[in-house]
Amino acid sequence: MGKEHSIELRNVTKTYKRDEFTIPVLTDLDLVVPEGEFLALMGPSGSGKTTLLNLIAGLDNATQGSVIVHGQDLGGMSDGEITRWRSENVGFIFQLYNLIPVLTAFENVELPLLLTNLSKRKRRDNVMTALRAVGLEGREDHYPRQLSGGQEQRVAIARAIVTDPFLLVADEPTGDLDRKSAEEILSLLQQLNKGFNKTIVMVTHDPEAAQRASRLLHLDKGKLVHDEVRNNLEEGVASS
């Protein structure tokens, strides 16, 4: 049944309750994301893309059905277990970077490591490795306001990979960037996918951004439609 770190959604339904109304968002949805896939998710505003991303990342629970990652049913975990699971397995990338303005690039990237018991020296090594991986060595002492949008997003990506998670979830990661910076961020995501075998699930409105993924899915009326697997990016996946 796929590789160790595949993500499997089985008969997943998600509804929100608001006052006496029940809002159905996802209906009886099935999805398998194999380890190492770069999946793009598109769909109209309000179609449930962020909701689906949150389920995959263990930030929210399905109303019905199961989300199984790495053979573990996320729905069966306690709050403490799921928090720990997330911190070890998932890196988050947002549209507006979500950097802490009063912390330097180094300190922003170090944040997820403060939850671990790594030594200060090991934390420094890992932070510098992550900053190097996103092309920001030499910028570690800069504050977010001293960086361009594209550079801020690269700091956010370094923060997402510093714990070496198998999964990256990105919600409109290029939504606030100019075309050139967006292209650079997408190339970086492709490199993390191909070179480091990160599984990536990316929500995007941008058809050009979606072209960079290895698979494209559309959400519409609570269902996944129009599954499109590309082969043009398969080469290089096998490289370590």
Ligand X SMILES: Nc1ncnc2c1ncn2[C@@H]1O[C@H](COP(=O)(O)OP(=O)(O)O)[C@@H](O)[C@H]1O
State the residues that interact with Mg ion by CB under 5 A.
Answer: 49-50
Q: Give φ, ψ of 20 to 5 degrees.
A: -90, 5
Q: Which of residues 42-71 bind ligand X (CB under 6 A)?
A: 43, 45-51
Residue 89 binds which one of ligand X, Mg ion, none, with CB within 5 to 8 A depending on kind? none
In whole angstroms, give the CA distance from residue 215 to residue 222. Answer: 19
Three-class DSSP category at 39: strand
State the nearest-atom distance from the C-beta of 18 to ligand X, in Å: 5
Name the segment binding ligand X (CB under 6 A); options: 18-26, 109-117, 157-165, 230-238. Answer: 18-26
Q: Is the dihedral of CA 219, 222, 227, 233 positive or negative?
A: positive
**DSSP at 111:** G
Contact between 18 and ligand X per CB under 6 A: yes
State the nearest-atom distance from the C-beta of 45 to Mg ion, in Å: 7
Q: Is the dihedral of CA 124, 126, 128, 130 positive or negative?
A: negative
Residue 165 binds which one of Mg ion, ligand X, none, with CB within 5 to 8 A depending on kind? none
Within 8 A by CB and 6+ apart from 187, the residues are 212
Longest dimension (CA), the chain: 54
Rank residues 163 and 174 by Cβ distance to Mg ion and give the closer one: 174
Residue 46 binds which one of Mg ion, ligand X, none, with CB within 5 to 8 A depending on kind? ligand X
Residues that bind ligand X (CB under 6 A): 16, 18, 23, 25, 43, 45-51
